[in-house]
Amino acid sequence: MEYGSGLEAHASSSTSANGTASGGSQQAEAPTKRSGNSLRRTLLFVGIAAASAGIAFAIVRSTLARPPQDPTTERIQSLIDEANKLLKQLDEKKSG
């Protein structure tokens, strides 16, 4: 058995002995099947790319170290807490 190019093999399998095309419905389905496979493959690659991007974003976000709090900020917060505590005590003395 001799193998020709893919085009010759396709042409010989789709024509009958008198030269007319056989299996018209099969030929109509072939482009749809190819485009369906192409679409499915594209969607698969897009899904893989989106999942990879999401995972990469999560890893980068979790590994980035947050800047350490400024000691001044901590001191200001402690002063605010102390002032709130003193105000609460003052309110209790006025009420009681």
pLDDT at 71: 84
pTM (2 decimals)? 0.38
For residues 34 and 95, give the distance between their C-alpha atoms in angstroms, rounded to a whole number. 83
For residue 25, pLDDT over 80 is answered with no
> 3-class secondary structure for 12-67?
HHHECCCCCECCHHHHHHHHHHHHHHHHHHHHHHHHHHHHHHHHHHHHHHHHCCCC
For residue 1, pLDDT over 80 is answered with no
pLDDT at 52: 97
For residues 96 and 90, give the distance between their C-alpha atoms in angstroms, rounded to a whole number. 10
pLDDT at 40: 92
For residue 18, pLDDT over 80 is answered with no
* Between residues 29 and 49, the one the model is more confident about: 49
